A and B are shown apart, each in its own frame.
Chain A
Amino acid sequence: MKDAIFILVAVFAVGGALLTAASQSIINAALGLLLSLISIAALYIFQSADFVAISQILVYVGGVMVLLLFSIMLSSGSTDFFKNNPAMKVFPALLIVVVFAGLAIYALFSANLTFYPGQYGPSTREIGNLFLKDYILVFELVSVLIVVMLVGAGVMLRKELVRKAVASDGDSKDEKENKK
């Protein structure tokens, strides 16, 4: 039974990825990605990695996918549901596929993987310990990266706002007054 569910989830993961790659409509591609991401979270649970699975949903589904959908839905082209993707080129795509497949296979065979089939145990505490003991430097670097990203986004947005305000000086004053 478990195997059946595993196969189902795996098919969903691969199918979602294929849909993302092959779909002509950008919204369908995004939905395929959504399906794939959720299925991968389920695969993590099969690996008894509940914390990672939930993180996957929180970050990728709740964060990244929402932003992706946000930008797709608000851009004007998305109203054409079945638009051709003009950026599709065969050779670059093939190149990327070969490179990434090579990397994935290399990682798969070089890493020392341990499987916990059918065994469920909490992993949060271990992950926490690892983060704060063995990999503290990496952890802190990642947090610095995120802070830099946030500040950068703020600066870029500010620039955009300033540019807009200069372009329409009179209007923006009125806007501010009305908002206050």
Chain B
Amino acid sequence: MINLIYMFVFSLVYLLLLALTAGILTYVERRIAGRMQSRIGPNRVGIQGILQFIADLIKGVQKEDIIPADAYAFLFKIAPYLVFMGVFLTLVPIPFGAYTLMEDLDVGIYYVLAMASYVVIGLMIGGWASNNKWSLLGGMRSAAQKISYEIPAALGVFIVVIMSGSMNFQKIVAAQGASPVDWFVFRNPFTFIAFNLFFIASLAEGNRVPFDIPEAESELVSGYNTEYSGMRFLFFFLAEWGNLVVIGALVTCMFFGGGSFWYEWKISIPAPGRDPIVFEVLGFLWFLFKTFFFVFVIIWIRWTLPRLRIDQLMDICWKYMVPIGLISSLGIVIWMYFIPENSTIDRIVRLTLTSLGAITVLYFKYRVYKNLKITKATIYANPFV
């Protein structure tokens, strides 16, 4: 009984945290978008507009909850909750620290994939029950897209599972290390491919640009949430931004070493003689930093790229990502058979890949500065200028 109450309280805290994070992310996204588009963004409510999301929440609650006359009311009502529930449930096995997690599921990644596929039903029901053709098209596009992109995502996950020998998140994190050389993303070429597959497929599953065709506002008005208003609409949005956190956290866990922040210290195996609580907190913060870095990357992509057409979207999935994923999942098996971990070749490959990554980042920085020089633009790194 106590256990049950503990579970209940813990999930309530998680729920509130997720809602809060999603809310703040709406603000952050608008600030970043504003900076990218030479405007300011919300800066009126609270210090630098930080409380804007609360104002939006209050406004959303006050709005009339419109249910279209010919809609299937029951399904129309429950659809946003189904979607939000699906996104929230994906958070369950994600380890924000060695102990900061809801449930250390043995089938962690598998569970996350299952929940992601479950969200589709909510979107489809929402689109269909609105009795609006734009919504219906949006819902159907969403379903087609998500089902397709589950395969490359699963192939990316598959490679990680083979590398770490487990579907448990803690063990996946433990199989990596704190330094970039130990991360799965730079471990060998196939895991690097797996990272790209998974990240791109996650963008598609999260309906983010350039894969936001289910709610393409210039084509489908607003897609599956066209008819929603007020609080139900906010639930769709909370789910979308909550999904950002989930994507960031998954990528961090699976490819970027999770919360292991100290070299030779791995998240689930605290070294003896060190205060576990301090390390727990530091690891948690380090995890959050990485997560929000990827959230930032996703937002950045959203405000930069145009949107794909649906046949191009399917082409990318079935003609490129799935074959590449299949080949690399074969490749990883061969690699692991012939090149044992920590052998010389393995170390050389790791170091090369890591330095290639570093060079890419530096080159990118150089290009940014070059372009800034050409256009004589001024850069404000601080978004609160």
Contacts and interface: CB of A to CB of B under 8 A. Distances in A.
Interface of A: 1, 27, 31, 34, 50-51, 54-55, 57-58, 61-63, 65-66, 69-70, 73-74, 79, 81, 122-124, 179
A61 B121 contact: yes
A58 B120 contact: no
Given A50-B106, A179-B311, A58 B113 contact: yes
Interface string B11-55: 000000000000000000000000000000000000000000000
B136 interface: yes
Nearest to A121: B106
Interface string B58-83: 00000000000000100100000000
Contacts of B311: 179
9 contacts: A27-B72, A50-B105, A51-B110, A61-B114, A66-B117, A66-B120, A66-B147, A69-B143, A73-B124
Given A54-B107, A69-B124, A70-B140, A63 B118 contact: no
A63 B114 CA distance: 10
A58 B117 contact: yes
B143 A70 contact: yes
Given A50-B107, A57-B118, A61-B114, 17 more contacts: A27-B72, A51-B110, A54-B110, A57-B115, A58-B110, A58-B117, A61-B118, A69-B124, A70-B124, A70-B140, A73-B128, A73-B139, A79-B131, A122-B106, A122-B107, A124-B107, A179-B311
B117 A62 contact: yes
Nearest to A50: B107
Interface of B: 1, 4, 72, 75, 105-107, 110-111, 113-118, 120-121, 124-125, 128, 131, 136, 139-140, 143, 147, 150, 167, 311
Contacts of B114: 54-55, 57-58, 61-62
A39 B8 CA distance: 20
B311 to A, nearest CB: 7
A74 B120 CA distance: 16
Contacts of A179: 311
Contact of A69 (B1, B113, B125, B150): B125
Given A58-B114, A73-B136, A74-B140, A66 B121 contact: yes
A62 B118 contact: yes
A69 B121 contact: yes
Contacts of A55: 110, 114
B128 A81 contact: no
Contacts of B4: 1
Contacts of A27: 72, 75
A66 B143 contact: yes
A79 B150 CA distance: 29
Contacts of B117: 57-58, 61-63, 66
Contacts of A79: 131
A57 B136 CA distance: 24
Contacts of A50: 105-107
A55 B167 CA distance: 13
Contacts of B147: 62-63, 66
A74 B1 CA distance: 46
Nearest to B119: A62
A1 B4 CA distance: 9
A63 B106 CA distance: 22
Pairs A-B, 3 closest by C-beta atoms: A62-B117, A122-B106, A58-B114
Contacts of B131: 79
B372 to A, nearest CB: 38
Contacts of B167: 124
Nearest to B167: A124
A59 B140 CA distance: 19
A124 B167 CA distance: 9
B109 to A, nearest CB: 10
Given A62-B150, A70-B124, A73-B124, A54 B72 contact: no
Contacts of B106: 50, 122-124
Contacts of A54: 107, 110-111, 114
A51 B167 CA distance: 11
A101 B121 CA distance: 30
A66 B140 CA distance: 10
B59 to A, nearest CB: 32
